Structure 1
């Protein structure tokens, strides 16, 4: 602690109210954010003289001051903690990468022939929503299955109204051709109903209805319709055999985890209407010696409470297998935000135990793959160091490329890699203006200048050491000598103190 920071006087001044505390280093940079239902008790525990875990010992060595913010309620403290962690990314907090809003499937209802579509964002559009799904791939795969099963259109309303002949989707069996009048409206709406039942996990009900319709069509000697219904039943049964559908039609998120070799994996398994919508692995930035409880608590709060646009995205049950500190506070805050009761469960049986086992196994497999990729990436960085005769192993690479639309609209892309692999949150695109169309060197010059001018104008301390940490070890330029010279010319005024 700083010599001018009087710990005893500071602790004596603290209130017993809920709130958050921000620990600062010698540069007054926030290195840890924590919440408390009782600020005096929580902050005092750091200086009680009792043996602390290794992570807390390392943290306290760098703490030079503490800022306190009192909140009205414990729930307010939890929400403020989440937002401050997202904003400041403190070194000693567990950090999960920012995620976009949740992806959904929507079936519109403002058109005589409803369409099915991918949807992301707040649920303001009129229609039926299904989800949220763990990632966009699960959404697109599900939409493709529904197209194959029921022929529901995915085209825009404008495209639909301008058609007189069926498009390619009809020719390859993904659409019933409603735009060209190739299906009766009542039949189409029956298919829409079946698509809704499918998304609700009610496959058996669909099959019973289709079988009855097939028998009626055969009795009426409508053999073409009977054959189409028969094919739907066959495809649906094939899909049903591949899907895991529980007899418990509940909504839950199930969290599995694995933590080894300094790498943590959180596996989120999404269950809606008893049907597994998909699974996604998250790999947070974890400070050394962080506890499993801290990692899980950070995931739950950051995943559900940061950038919350849709309270229905929070399920009624969140299942994992360890107890958490402040578990009641987290459950209350989630319930308040979701507008329905949210239960955190970690003693589960029967179907929920099967879900949890699936999530835990998936986490083990995901972390094994991640560690293997990490080793391969490290080997590639070592090979690059040898080829370029670098004194030290590179830790960050930024790559620039230029693309054109018929030689007119010019866009520059910057992708970033570190020793863990792609850093997608740092990817950037630049619309290039004010140059002659097709002038790639000028485009490279502008993109590089704009990329690193922002770093130069940052309000962070700008010592030579800071500069070397802010810029990549290697910048790759797609092109020839002219593009390379343009990039160097753009960098020279910005990096006078560093070698290029």
Structure 2
């Protein structure tokens, strides 16, 4: 195997130190192939280049390696965490990769100083509950994360029923003259109009936090003790309030099936693998309450599991321990999820998992989180019920995914057959679709959306700002966008002498869809003729009689007859999906551009010397951009930080 690699690369491998670290393999185009960790970099990396892997996927990957990068770290735990940080950020082809672009929601209780009811701000005297996503601010308390926004909102409603904490914004709170509807329906204690003291409200906040932490039995006992104390002092109104609170809390505990066992914060992880796809179902228990679950679907499972064997094989000195076989694919998927997921999400002290979890991974996560993390593989009692429920949901989610992907692949195949495209490699069938959007000629935008691997690729979408044309001239707009998009493709083809351009250069998609009939197709044909590109790639989507959905016809630039696919055609469903996505993407871009022009925000931002603070002062003083534009130089100069010269510059720019 080493004969296929350069002497420079092999010398670099031979010079590696016998220390823990992370290694990265790159191909000839600079694309990242694989990220791995090692307790001994020299042994691990050398095993790839000294062993003959034959025609396996490992051999296929190793044959592509032309460059190596390594990072030495202090321990295996550091190597494991760095490895998964790099996997998550760099998306290597031969690693199991989990993508989760959605942040987790939290329940926020505002104000640190609010515990004793002191402080000046309303959020400190009377903290509010709120749904929150984003960065953590140490001035507030956060509970979660929760698997969904619904779980947060349901928890807020629960706390409103029992402890009646406010949820209104501070600006609303500060300007109330009478209590709102939430007070009338006994969901708030009316702190905005002084119907509860800061000290009493602070007690309710502390009790709510105790419930969120799962200290329900302790909380009930404390409330009962306080109720009895008030009764003994003949303070029957206060005792009745506490009695009502205890009743409400008991009812909520019963309705929500809140567990009173020792488990407070637990994550339940169930893995299912089928048909080359995998699903990890994550269920969350917080404060003893089961809050729901969320499925995750990794990519690169087949390739990654095929090259996993050397990672824990005898090449790393584990032969005497019997670790000559790669772990089952479910275990590999679970390990990848745990390592990547808990890099950015707080980890609870207990994981209940359907597969065994490596001790080294748990130790690394414990070290990172600053708490002892344990994993239970074969749980009992309540934990077993949680795991069985998570496994059932993983089965359902994976079956749904496979059904959707099968349907999408069928649509791709149907379109390829209908248009007589090459159907051998459907995964790489690429379609680009263009649409023009404007409002009476204002803020014209063109969109280009991309489809391949049987799905829309939003990261490859592009918008084009159309300028220098008569407003409302869709044909001129289409000419401009197609020329701008495909001129680099034509230049790459000329440089390649008519052959397929090299990887990394602009390439022509298999299909270019334009939203329009003969007119738009004729315009596209002119552009492709001028650029010397293949006319057979151009297809127009012409609306049918009465512009009814399902009656569309396909128009070709190379002279072929129109094609009507039929309203129940899987091929037409795919064309409509791509066309509608291009329309949506163009509309959102046009609306954003139009709003920016009408508000005038960009005009102020473009004036040299007017930064965010000065712009905010101007807008606050004159009530908006229109007011700034109507102000005189003298009025502008009265704003703090605006000199006479800058005022004149603003006046000229806005007039």
Matches within 5 A, 1:190-209: 191-204=204-217
Structure 2 residue 365 is matched with structure 1 residue 334: yes
Aligned partner (choices 72, 80, 84) of residue 74 of structure 2: 72
Matching of residue 275 in structure 1 with residue 289 in structure 2: yes
Q: Deviations over 1:334-380 (max 9, x none)?
A: 22321223334435444444443333232222212222222233344
Match of 2:144 in 1: 131
State which of 248, 257, 282 in structure 2 corresponds to 1:232.
248
1:250 deviates by 3.8
Task: Note the 1:241-320 alignment, pairs <5 A.
Answer: 241=257, 245=259, 247-288=261-302, 290=305, 291-305=329-343, 308=344, 313-320=346-353
Alignment of 1:49-64 (within 5 A): 49=51, 54-64=56-66
Q: For structure 1, which runs of at least 5 residues remain unmatched after alignment?
A: none
Summarize the Cα distance change of 1:144–1:260 in structure 2 as closer, same or farther, 3 Å threshold.
Answer: same
Deviations 1:194-214 (A, max 9, x none): 432332234455666778899
1:216-251 CA distance string (max 9 Å, x none): 89995799969975983576156323x5x3502343
Report the Cα offset of residue 116 of structure 1: 1.2
- Tell me how far 1:427 sits from its aligned partner: 8.0
Query: Counterparts of 1:102-121 in structure 2 under 5 Å?
Result: 102-109=104-111, 110-121=123-134
1:449·1:490 contact (CA, 8 Å) conserved in 2? no
Q: Given the superposition, is the C-alpha separation of residues 248 and 430 from structure 1 closer, same or farther in structure 2, using an over 3 Å criterion?
A: farther
User: So what's the TM-score if we normalise by structure 1?
Assistant: 0.74
Distance in 1 (alpha carbons) for counterparts of 2:473 and 2:188: 43
Please report the RMSD computed on the Cα atoms of aligned residues, expressed in angstroms: 5.2
- Please say if residues 402 and 443 of structure 1, whose CA atoms lie closer than 8 Å, have aligned partners that are also in contact: no
Q: CA deviation at 1:94?
A: 0.9
Is the contact made by 2:29 and 2:504 (CA closer than 8 Å) also made in structure 1?
Answer: no
Q: Deviations over 1:97-147 (max 9, x none)?
A: 143444321111243221111223342241221112234443334334434
Normalising to structure 2: TM-score of the pair? 0.59
- Number of equivalenced pairs: 486
Distance 1:296 1:226, change over 3 A: closer
Instruction: After TM superposition, give the deviation of residue 24 of structure 1 in Å.
Output: 2.8
In structure 1, the residue matched to 2:408 is 377
> Which has more helix, going by share of residues?
2
Mark the structure with the bigger radius of gyration.
Answer: 2
* Structure 1 residues 21-40: aligned runs within 5 Å: 21-40=23-42
- CA deviation after TM superposition for structure 1 residue 258, in Å: 0.3
Mean alpha-carbon deviation: is it higher for 18-27 or for 191-200?
191-200
The 3 A distance-change label for structure 1 pair 237 and 269 is closer
Greater relative contact order (Cα < 8 A, sep 6+): 1
Residue in 2 aligned with 1:5? 6
| Gap runs ≥5 in structure 2 | 112-122, 306-328, 539-655
Aligned match of 2:396 in 351, 365, 368? 365
For the pair 1:89 / 2:91, whether they are aligned, the reply is yes
The 1:237/1:301 distance shift into structure 2, 3 A limit, reads closer
Provide the rounded CA distance (Å) in 2 between the counterparts of 1:328 and 1:266: 20
- Whole-angstrom CA distance in 2 between matches of 1:154 and 1:249: 29
Change (3 A) 1:265 1:173: farther
